[in-house]
Every structure is written in C-alpha cells, then in structure tokens.
Copies of this chain bind each other. A is one copy, B any other.
C-alpha cells in the first residue's frame, strides 16, 4: 500500500479540498459521477479512477465528500463498495454532512471490516475550502484522528475532536442549528432596530459588545454596510447558501426526532429558511434571511449621520 489518497465526491466542496492535497504534493486518485468534475481535478494533477472499487484499490486513505446519507450508504456499503474493496486497515474519512444514524451505521460496518473510520464534516464553506481554512469537527478513535490529522491540516486549520465516530457530525448538526437560529435572531434584532428608527451601525456595535452578541451577528452581519467583507455587502452572494442552511436544519430535525430531543426554535428556523428557499433564494447567502424578516423595511434608507 502506497500513501496514495483516494478521493470520492468532487463537488463545490470536494474539488477545492482535493486541490489542496495536490498543492501539497500528495498523490490523489479521484472518482466522481460527473466527468467534467473529474477532468478539472485531473487537470490539476490527480489521477482518475473508473469506479469506487478502483479508488479503494491501492489507497492508504480514502476521503469522501458526498451530498447526503443515501450517497454515503451506497459508496460505503455493499459489494464493490469502499468497505468491501479497500484493503484491511485503510483509513476512511467521511467529510460529508449527513445524518448521525447513517454515519454511525457506516462507521460500525467499516470497523467490523477491519478498517479505521472517522467522520470529519467541515465548516467554513466553499471560500474556506479554496484557501485551506476549513474547520473539521471530527468523530473517531483517538488513534484514527491522529492518523488523519496531517491530511486534515492540509485542507483546513482546526481539527476539533468531538468524541467517538459519528460525534463529529453530531456536534456539527448541533452547532449549525444554533447558527441558523442565531442568524435569524440577528436579523430580527437588526431589522426591528431599523423599524424603531434606531441607527443600525450603533445598534450593531452595542449588541456586538453586549449580551445580544452571537457569531453570525458579529461575523456575518445580515444587513449591508455595517461590517466589512460579508455577503450582505455583495448582494448576498454566498458564502453559505440558504439551501445549505436548510439542509443542515433538516438534518437537525431528523436527529431531534430520532433522539426525541425538543428543538422548538430549531424547527421554527427550518420553517423560516424553507419559506426563504421556496421564494427563490436557494442560492442566496443565508444572511439574506434579513430580507424575509425585514419585509418592505429591508432597504429603508437611513442615514446613520455619524
């Protein structure tokens, strides 16, 4: 077995992640159903595999970045799958954001087959992927996480070890549920400030230094012209799309139902982002939820007069 890396799933996130590995001089053997996606990464130095099984053959580590649990099941389980075709002892790293149940089921099957497996979903979005600044929330045995760390640190900056396999995804789902709720809270507070005739900049500055503060308020201000460099200033081009936020909020509700957890605001946030997506904003940055919250007040002119 060489130190070749297999990589399956070359979408918006997978492609730039593979590219980081290539930039670091690693040998990467890739597979994706889209030939165009494969060609692009091959153009950067990767080699193309004809199937999942061919990726498995001869790769010491295999990374997957897939859209949903069903894809993960079909790539990992059954005849000719990764678990079936990989040599015992292969390190399997699933970076997909999927449901906890599937992740745990696949992880158990991998271990039973003699592999090591970690789940390593990412945060930071496409922009972070392009510059190798993703954060990984990781679940797996200490040993496996350490084995994966050098690769993860090529693609990202922080490797946050949450617990046993499946817990990386678990923490990410909890984290992103909080993110979605707090973004709406930020939009509600900022838009109400406008409706009340308050100065948005001062309101934002005060809240950012007070108990109303949250990560999205400070780092992803949902109104334009208040914080530099956020999607709101760029016509809400993502960033992190509303469709992706809806996906994560759905995963949170699936997790909540199966674990019988109460998540009243999590469920409500899903409903709000669903309305937003349904009204033509799938590819709007999720901070654009301020448009739905603001209604016709969203673009009130107000001279901050400072």
Point out residues on A near B: beta carbons under 8 Å: 100, 123, 135, 137, 158, 160-163, 167, 170-171, 173-179, 181-182, 184-186, 188-193, 195-199, 202-203, 206-207, 209-217, 219, 250, 252-257, 259-272, 274-275, 277-279, 292-297
Contacts and interface: CB of A to CB of B under 8 A. Distances in A.
16 contacts: A137-B206, A160-B206, A162-B202, A163-B199, A163-B202, A175-B211, A176-B211, A176-B212, A184-B264, A185-B265, A191-B262, A195-B260, A196-B255, A262-B271, A265-B268, A267-B271
A171 B198 contact: yes
A163 B179 CA distance: 29
A191 B73 CA distance: 28
Interface of A is mostly: helix
A165 to B, nearest CB: 12
Q: Copy number in this complex? A: 4
Given A214-B215, A257-B253, A171 B267 contact: no
B275 A275 contact: yes
Contacts of A274: 262, 295
B250 A262 contact: no
